[in-house]
Each structure stands twice: as C-alpha cells, then as structure tokens.
Amino acid sequence: MIVHRHLFGPGPTNAYPEATEALARPLLGHLDPVFLEIMDETCARLRETWGTAANRTLPLSATGSAGMEAAFVNAVHPGDVVVVAVNGLFGQRMCEVASRCGAEVVPVEHEWGTPVDPERVVAAHPSPAIVAAVHAETSTGVRSDIAALGRAVHEAGDALLLVDAVTSIGGIELRADDWGIDIGYAGTQKCLGVAPGLAPYTIDERAFARRVERPRSWYLDLGLLGGYVGDTRGHNPARTYHHTAPVAMVVSLHAALGRILEEGLENAWARHEAAGQALQDGLETMGLELFARAGSRLPELTTVRVPDGVDSAAVRRTLLERYDIEIGAGVGEYASSVWRIGLMGPNASPDAVRLLLGALGDVLGR
C-alpha cells in the first residue's frame, strides 16, 4: 500500500521531485568516476548553499544528529570549555553530546520560544574553546541571529563558533563565512527537500587546524574523511577508501541542490519567507496564538499554541487520517500545548498554505 502524505511537520518534509527521481536511479559504485564527479559537485553545491569557501564541506554518511556528533567529537579536546546557548531541545542535546566528548560544558539557558542572546552567551565564560548555538531551533520555531553571535564571539576571543543549521539550510539566509561559522552541520530532510540520511557538514581551516588528531570516533574522523571525498577543489584528487558512500542518498542530495541553486538560493529563501508569513497570518486570523517570539519566528517552521480545551493529539490524528496531513507535536513541557507546522522545501508554497489552513480550520471548526 502506497501512502501519500503531506509532510507539514518539523521534518522530514516531502522531497523535491528531482531528489526522488535521483534516488531511484540505477546504483553506481562508490569509486565509479561518474559517482566521484557527482560527489565533487555535491560538495561544491554544498559550499554554495552554506555560503562558505571551506574546502572541507561534505555530506556525512548519517543523519543530522550524527552531524552534531561529528562537530563535537572532532573539535573537543579533553577538558575544553564549551559554551552552549540553550533555547530548546537541540541546544540541550549539544550539551549532552559535548559532555560525552569530554567537554566542560557551560550551558547558557534561555526561555524556550526566545532567540539566543549573544551578550549573555559571550559573558558566560572568559575563554571558551568553543561557543555553540542552534540557528533554527526545531523544537520552538525560533531563529537566532548567528551573524550577531559570530561578531560577539570573535571580538571576545579566539573561540570557535559551532552552529547547528539543520532546519535553516536552504530555507533562510545562511552565510557561514560572513558570519564566522567555523564548524557547521545540517540535515537533508528539512528545507533541502531530500530524504533524511545525510548530514551536510563544513569546517574551516582554523577549526581543522585545532582538531583532535585521533578522535574517539573512527567513522566521523574528519582527518580520514578528507581522503574519502578527495581534494574536492580538483587538485590531485586522490581518494582513500574510508567507508562505502551512501551513493543513492548522495545522488539524491546532488539533484536537490541543483534544483535549489537553479531557482537561486535567495529565491528559495524568499519562497520560504512568503509561505511562512502567509501561514502565520492565516493562523492568527483563525484566532490562534503563535508560540515563538515575534521578530524571531522561522518561516519554515511555525509553532502555534493549542487552544484551551482542544486535544492536541486528536487534532493531529484527524489531520493525518482524514487529510493525509502530518503536523508535529510540541517538545518537552510543550508536548501537548504546542503544534509545530513546517513548510519546507517543495512545501514552501501557497498551495500548501491553503491546504493546511483549510484542513486545520475544518478540524477546529474555525
């Protein structure tokens, strides 16, 4: 039985048709010259999408959460102070992952629904090795100002800036080099419009020079992964076998990035902005209250309070069963009091807005 869902939750989203078509192509060997060229182009397209010139920009062979692990396991030396801006679940997770890597973690807690405050983050410790933050908090629908955080961090000292861009990449403005992001990771299943399974990753020269030489993880060891993707700038592209690349997923990511760059990154951002704004306006017109603080709302992921007396899970179940529409529950203490509605990748469209508002209005009787 084939089920067609409208994936309007916090991810995965529906895939771009180009990504689906590529996923089903005949497989290539992971050392086939045709595949190596696709891998090189994928890395080049990821550089453009991240807004970076960093040579070590590649798709890690696991989901976005492994990107977080790769970020810390390669960067944290035992006892390093890592300041983590926490304004949702993924900031909390950063603390846990960094701690397992041997960091002395200094969390800077923010109220959920609010953005990261660069001044408080920088004031938390005089000389951290790393400052980490989430660009787009998937748990709350909040956008933090990474440009401002980058300025503050780099003015204050020589800490590395480590950023989670899982829900921002391809959906809102992201400029890794301009903003001073030294290490970044993302996922494919949000605004890039690809199935989950890869973690787009970037690390600049400064961070690479300070990396852990023999990290605890062999699979995510960036020193070894450099040989795996080769010198993707085309100079002496010797390849070292590290692991078998997930070829179908890489070919699919390559196709989706091609589609996004053909549309134009800024056009894709504008499309997400328009869809998100229309959705948020429509929800407020319906009398619903948005959760994330005004001025820091993500267009690609909207959080909305469940009205008093409404059974959150029952609404989600009805949307799924009657309309094939998935939306997400809230997280943690907001599990049953907030919904999360994503319009990402191909779903950042006026049609999706109309469909979602119409169906939700029906179910709520508004």
| Chain residues in the site for a second copy (CB under 8 A) | 1-5, 7, 9, 11-15, 20-21, 23-34, 61-66, 68-69, 73, 93, 96-97, 100-101, 187, 189, 195-197, 214-219, 242-249, 320, 326
Minimum distance, C-beta of residue 333 to a second copy, in the bound complex (Å): 15
Q: Where are the alpha helices (DSSP H) in 103-221?
A: 118-123, 146-156, 176-179, 205-209
Minimum distance, C-beta of residue 79 to a second copy, in the bound complex (Å): 15
Minimum distance, C-beta of residue 24 to a second copy, in the bound complex (Å): 4
Cα–Cα distances (Å) from 249 to 25, 108, 189, 212, in that order, read: 11, 36, 11, 28
Residue with tokens 């960067």: 75
Minimum distance, C-beta of residue 136 to a second copy, in the bound complex (Å): 15
- Closest CB to a second copy among 156 and 192? 192
- Closest CB to a second copy among 196 and 361? 196
Q: 3-state secondary structure string, 204-246? A: CHHHHHCCCCCCCCCCCCHHHHHHHHCCCCCCCCCCCCCCCCC
Is the CB of residue 67 less than 8 Å from the CB of residue 258? Answer: no
User: If you ran DSSP here, which 8-state letter would residue 63 be given?
Assistant: -
Minimum distance, C-beta of residue 117 to a second copy, in the bound complex (Å): 26
Q: State how far the Cα of 190 lies from the Cα of 170, in Å rounded to an integer.
A: 8
- Closest CB to a second copy among 149 and 222? 222
Is the CB of residue 75 less than 8 Å from the CB of residue 209? Answer: no
Strand partners, 60: 199
Minimum distance, C-beta of residue 353 to a second copy, in the bound complex (Å): 19
- Closest CB to a second copy among 214 and 235? 214
Q: State how far the Cα of 227 lies from the Cα of 79, in Å rounded to an integer.
A: 29
The residues near 306 (Cβ < 8 Å, ≥ 6 apart) are 312, 315, 330, 336, 337, 338, 339
Minimum distance, C-beta of residue 51 to a second copy, in the bound complex (Å): 24
- Closest CB to a second copy among 52 and 92? 92
The residues near 270 (Cβ < 8 Å, ≥ 6 apart) are none
Is the CB of residue 303 less than 8 Å from the CB of residue 330? Answer: yes
- Closest CB to a second copy among 319 and 357? 319
Which residues sit in the known binding site for substrate? 340
- Closest CB to a second copy among 100 and 366? 100
